[in-house]
Amino acid sequence: MKKLTSLFFLLVIGITRISAQASASKNKNLLSNFHSYNTVQLLNGSTTTSAAIISVNGFQFHHFFTGIGVGYDYYYRRSIPLFVETRYNVVGKIRKLQLFANAGANFIVNQQNKNFVNKTGPYKTGRYWSAGFDYFIPVKTDALTIGIAYSSKQVIQMVDNYTWNPLLNRSENIPIKEEYLLNRMAVRLGWVF
């Protein structure tokens, strides 16, 4: 809970700073501030080791970057995280080392998870967040990024469970709610332009 609260405030600060700076630089071409961060992540958790691909697109103003991110996460249950991300240049204005944090929703890809036949039942949208830092290796005007992060995604399934209901005196589906909180370390390799 504390982590989420901290991330939330970090995002708010990022957004307000960008808003303030955008109004002060209204003559500047926004397109030149647009950046796309695309990473492949190796995810390691207590359950398994897996991968994810993430793309975050947004705008940089001075020290701060804010953007919208989307990805495909293969860890345990395939899902599509959708989130807002804020980044901060630790070393001046030059992209050398950036801290980042993001938070949003985690959508389960049902069709890809249908092979888990011992459990049927719909999935619900969960939470997604991560935080970490990226190190930049400049390549002309773009950069290769290497980083690490701590990432967490929530998977919720209402598992079908046909059983007897003594109140209704008949068998019915009384789903069992299973909430997975999947916490991983991520090693990141990316490209930003």
Partner 1 sequence: MKIAQSIRNIVAYFLLVLLVSSCVKDKLTTTHTLFKPVYKSKSAVLLDIKSSSPTTLLQTGKLFKYGEYIFVNELNKGVHIIDNSNPAAPVNKYFIAIPGSIDMAVKDNTLYADIYTDLVAVDISNPAVAVLKKVMQNVFPERQYQNGFMPDSSQYIVDWVKYEAKDEQDFLDNQNRGVQNPIFFSNFLANSTNSGVTKSAGVSGSMARFTIIDNYLYTVGRSNLSAINITNTINPVMEKTVGVGWEIETIYPLKNKLFIGGQTGMFIYDVSSPANPVFTGSFSHACFRDPVIADEKYAYVTLRAMEQQGTCWNGTAAQRNELDIVNITNLAAPVLVKIYDMAEPKGLSKDGDYLFICDGKAGLKVYNAADVLNLSLIKQIKTITPFDVIVQDGLAIVVADEGIFQYDYSNINNIKLLSKIVVGNN
Residues that bind partner 1 (CB under 8 A): 44-48, 76, 116, 118-119, 135, 137, 146-148, 150, 159-171, 173-185, 187
Smallest distance from partner 1 to CB 176, Å: 6
Tell me whether residue 47 or residue 112 sits nearer to partner 1 (CB atom). 47
Smallest distance from partner 1 to CB 42, Å: 9
Of 188, 4, 11, residue with least CA distance to 86: 11
Smallest distance from partner 1 to CB 185, Å: 5
CB 52 within 8 A of CB 71: yes
Tell me whether residue 82 or residue 156 sits nearer to partner 1 (CB atom). 156
Q: What is the 3-state secondary structure (H, E, C) of 87-131?
A: EEECCCCCCCEEEEEEEEEEEECHHHHCCCCCCCCCEECEEEEEE
Tell me whether residue 18 or residue 108 sits nearer to partner 1 (CB atom). 108
Tell me whether residue 68 or residue 97 sits nearer to partner 1 (CB atom). 97
Smallest distance from partner 1 to CB 96, Å: 10
